[in-house]
Amino acid sequence: MSSSPPPSYHSDLQALLAFKNSLSHDPYDSLHDWSPRHSFCNWTAILCSSRHQRVLSLNLTGMSLLGPISPFLGNLSFLTVLALKNNNFQGQIPPQLGKLSRLRILRLSLNQLEGSIPTTLTSCHSSEVLILSYNFLSSTIPSQLGHLSQLEIIYLGRNQLTGTIPPSLGNLSSLIDLQLSNNNLHGSIPIQLGMLTQLRVLYLHQNNLTGIIPPSLGNLSSLTNLSLEYNIVHGSIPIELGMFTQLRLLVLRGNNLTGTIPPSLGNLSSLTNLDLGQNRIHGSIPIQLGMLTQLRVLYLHQNNLTGTIPPSLGNLSSLTNLDLGRNRIHGSIPIQLGMLTQLRVLYLHQNNLTGIIPPSLGNLSSLTNLSLGYNILHGSIPIELSMLSQLKELYLEQNKLNGSIPIELGMLSQLIKLYLRYNSLTGVIPF
């Protein structure tokens, strides 16, 4: 005779059936085999331990299930992975999930969950991954999260969280990825985040954060991505940010930053994306930025930059997007920009640029957008621009250009926007 299952088996069984029964819609009949007639270890989305026949993992990602998350899941005491991502779960996160002492991974993103983050989750001392992004969670980030010493990943972005960033998060010495973006967080960036020496990704963008960028962030020697865009951060860019030798993405756009661009940013040899646009940064563009040979995107637009465009930017052979528009840059356009053969977008509009349009820009064979309007450029339109076969938009308006409009521009078969007004050009538009 076969032995009857132990009580722990029945406990897991009842928890799973309660979860299924709480669902209001299973559009793809994903749980069709969830029946007590068969061992739940053979059910869809369930992984069991071979020794104890207990549920280790419940992965229902992307099944479009509708309903609440059953509190009875808190009875799955052996559970290490709970993945309910990309469904239509509603209501609050059950506090009972805090009973899952073995839980390592909790993925509840891309649902319709609301309410607060239960403080009971901080009892899950084995937690390594906490992903609650893309929901409607409100209230504050529990400071007790700082007690989960095993945490490596925290995704709380795209919610409606308020309050401040808990300084206790600086205790999470194993953390490699912290994403709190697209919420309603306020207050300053805690200096304690500079203690997260294993951190690779820090996304705090699109909140209401104030204060300065803590120089302590310069201690994050493993950081590859830093995004603080669209907050209300003020003060200058700390020179310590130039110590991020692994950094690939630095986005500080849309704040109230002042001061100058630190030449130390030229030390960021791995950088591919530098966006300091829409601030109040002044001074000149450091020639050291020309050392960033991996750079693909450089946005310095809508600041108070003065000085000239460094010819060293012509060394950025991987650059695809360059936007220096809406500043107070003067001098001529360096002929060296014609060396940027990967460039697709070049925006230099609304500055005080003088001189001629360099014929070398005709070498930019990948260019789709060229905006030089609202400057003080003179001379004729170079015939070499007709070599830009990928060009879709050409803005040369409000300059002091003269001479005839090159008929060769009519060869630009991709061109859909051409702005030449408020110059002294003659001839006909060749289209």
Please give the Cα distance from 23 to 264 (Å, whole number).
56
Determine the structural domain holding residue 6 and report its residue range: 1-161
Closest by CA to 93, choosing from 62, 144, 138, is 138
Q: Do the domain assignments include residue 134?
A: yes
Q: Do the domain assignments include residue 31?
A: yes
Q: How far is CA 63 from CA 12, 110, 256, 422, in A?
A: 21, 12, 43, 58
pLDDT of residue 4: 63
As a 3-state breakdown, the chain gives helix, strand, coil percent values, each rounded to 5, of 20, 25, 55
Q: Do the domain assignments include residue 286?
A: no
Q: Six-digit token pair at 330?
A: 């003067």
Contact 239, 261 (CB under 8 A): no
DSSP 331-352: EPPPGGGGG-TT--EEE--SSE
pLDDT of residue 153: 98
- Find the distance separating the first CA and the last CA of the chain, reported in whole Å: 90
Please give the Cα distance from 319 to 61 (Å, whole number).
38
| Count of structural domains, the chain | 1
As separate numbers, helices (DSSP H) first and strands (DSSP E) second, the chain gives 1, 32
Please give the Cα distance from 395 to 412 (Å, whole number).
14
Q: Do the domain assignments include residue 189?
A: no
Q: Do the domain assignments include residue 75?
A: yes
Q: Do the domain assignments include residue 224?
A: no
pTM: 0.95
Q: Which residue has the tokens 């600041």?
A: 303
Q: Six-digit token pair at 135?
A: 């929901």
The CA dihedral of 350, 354, 355, 358, to the nearest 10 degrees, is -30
The CATH number for 45's domain is: 3.80.10.10
Please give the Cα distance from 263 to 19 (Å, whole number).
57
Contact 69, 98 (CB under 8 A): no
Q: Do the domain assignments include residue 52?
A: yes
Per-residue b/e over 370-390, b at no fewer than 16 CB within 10 Å? bbbbbbebbeebbebbbbbee
Residues in the chain: 431
The DSSP output letter for 28 is T
pLDDT of residue 52: 86
Contact 12, 75 (CB under 8 A): yes
Per-residue b/e over 85-115, b at no fewer than 16 CB within 10 Å? bbbbbbeebbebbbbbebbbbbbbbbbebbe
Q: What is the CA radius of gyration of the chain?
A: 28
Please give the Cα distance from 179 to 387 (Å, whole number).
44
- Sorted by sequence, the CB contacts under 8 Å of residue 6 that are 6+ apart come out as none
Which residues in the chain land under pLDDT 70?
1-4
Single-letter residue type at 373: G
Please give the Cα distance from 307 to 314 (Å, whole number).
17
- Residue 417 phi/psi, 5-degree rounding, is -135, 125
Q: Do the domain assignments include residue 86?
A: yes
Q: Six-digit token pair at 268?
A: 């960021």
Q: Six-digit token pair at 315?
A: 């060394």
Residue 158 CA, chain-centre distance (Å), reads: 11
pLDDT of residue 427: 87
pLDDT of residue 1: 36
